[in-house]
Amino acid sequence: MPTTSESNGPLFVVLAAALWGTSGTVQAFAPEAATPLSVGVVKIGIGGAAMLLFAALSGGWAKGSSASVGWRPLPVLACAVLVASYQALFFTGIELTGVALGTISAIGSLPVWAGLIDLLFGKRPDARWLYATAAAIVGSVLLIGSGGSLSVGPLGVLLCILSGGGLVAFTTIAKGLLEERPHAVVMGVTFSLGAVLLSPALLLSGPSWVLSPLGLAVALELGLAATALAYILFARGLSKVSVSTAATLSLAEPLTAGILGVLVLGERLSLVAAAGITLLLLGLLIATVRRE
């Protein structure tokens, strides 16, 4: 019988994805000057700093310093580069092809990338994962695409798909680091370094929108909740589940975004969107509920 921490692994990933799903609704309230790229830099910058602070207050740094294995520079640098690159790829991609199709391309590609990585390491996905992933991806497409016609920008779609690959690669490498250091320490260090690498992008799209009360509120929610808290939960869940399962469970993000769109932004829920939510819930249920 699984331990409580092990059985809670999928729940932590779903909660993290739900927090990610608040980003679109919150960004809808951002000032007009808040460009997607500047939002991305501010988001991971605040998130990384918050995770470092949490690690310090919770004693994570002390636990990390007593680890028998020292920091491995190459995986840490790789994670930082991947954090910066998949953020830049995604936000550039949605500018070229739109938020709806960009989200479908990026989030929907996660289980596929994870499955490919599993195959690369000689792991064959089981039927349960395939059923859960198929239901969740189809549900995501129906839910996000239900708002109207999609304008296809091939380059934007490609960039968003590549951003999904970057996130899965980050997840794969970070999973190894999480076996050596506390969750908040690993995520705080890699995200802070990623923010530093991505900071030159602010020269092209300044962060002045953060100085307004509304902009500050948006930045804090995105940085503290949708990034810091979300990735601490994600890291905790990732230490208990496989990368492929975590990728499938991450499809809770568009589910949350769709529900918030209806409840907060007043968007209408069509029959197609309702079918998408149903399939997403089915896929998450298949991936989350354990076999006896």
CA distance 99 to 5: 35
**Which residues does 150 contact at the CB level (< 8 Å), separation at least 6?**
98, 100, 101
Start-to-end C-alpha separation, the chain:
8
Global confidence as pTM? 0.80
Residue 255's SS3 state is helix
Classify residue 45 by burial, with Cβ atoms within 10 Å: 0-12, 13-18, 19+: buried
**Which residues does 31 contact at the CB level (< 8 Å), separation at least 6?**
209, 212, 214, 215, 218
- pLDDT tens across 155-178, in order? 887 888 899 899 999 999 998 888
CA geometry: angle 155, 161, 166, nearest 5 deg: 120
C-alpha dihedral sign at 137, 113, 83, 53: positive
**Which residues does 149 contact at the CB level (< 8 Å), separation at least 6?**
none
- pLDDT tens across 130-164, in order? 777 788 778 777 766 665 555 557 788 788 889 98
CA distance 32 to 28: 9
Give pLDDT, residue 292. 38
